Amino acid sequence: MAYDVVSELKHFEAYRSSGRAPHWTMAVSDLHGFLTGIAMGGAVAEDEWLPLIWSGEQPEFGCDQEEQSVLGELRALLAAIAADLVSSEEGIVPVLLADENGNYDASDWADGFLQAIETNPEPWKKAFDCAKESLGVVLAACHENHEDGQPELLGPDDTDMMVSHLRQLHSVMRGAEDPVAPAAKAA
């Protein structure tokens, strides 16, 4: 991804840890999954997606400058994700939390992605019809899919497979053929 998410969200992260942010404010990984799903699904009004970042609660900012900085970073992240979906040679690269063994927790990212689908379900009907397997692979990491509440960690091959299926979903959503699609089906 051309956009370094963590370094570009310094005001957002500072706000999250300030004690003024709503308790269930999205963290970077689920925020990235959510905004990726919003960008893939098509236009959603800001007043529909922004409150979901705060879990529907009203954020309390310390001053107008803090509010503008935080909201500016969120808008910039959405714009960067949308631009990467169109132009990036890397394709879609989810922001996943890694453990000390090099395995990745994709559950928060997938939860955010699912929330985006639920926010704007109409465009995703195409994915339900044409890429159900890819959608299933991507959403399989959601917390609610694990009975014990513990996320299943993904190794590098599993992460590559998830990215391949994300590319397939993106291809379906934009109505274009994607050369990665056969690899996603084979995975």
* pLDDT reported for residue 48: 94
**Residues 176, 154: contact at Cβ < 8 Å?**
no
Residues of the chain with pLDDT under 70: 1-6, 88-91, 143-151, 176-187
Predicted confidence at residue 126, as pLDDT, reads 83
CATH of the domain at 105: 1.20.120.740
Give the Cα separation of 126 and 97 in Å (integer). Answer: 29
**Would you say 119 and 50 are in contact if contact means Cβ atoms under 8 Å apart?**
no
120 neighbors 166 (Cβ within 8 angstroms)? no
* pLDDT value, residue 153: 79
Q: What pLDDT, on a 0 to 100 scale, did the predictor assign at position 173?
A: 86
Number of domains the chain is built from: 1
Region label for 36, one of left (φ > 0), alpha (ψ between -120 and 50) or beta (otherwise): alpha
According to the model, what pLDDT value does residue 40 have? 92
- What predicted TM-score, i.e. pTM, was given to this entire model? 0.84
Residue-range definition of the domain harbouring residue 141: 5-186
**For residue 160, what pLDDT is reported?**
84
Give pLDDT, residue 176.
52
What's the token pair of residue 46? 């800001």
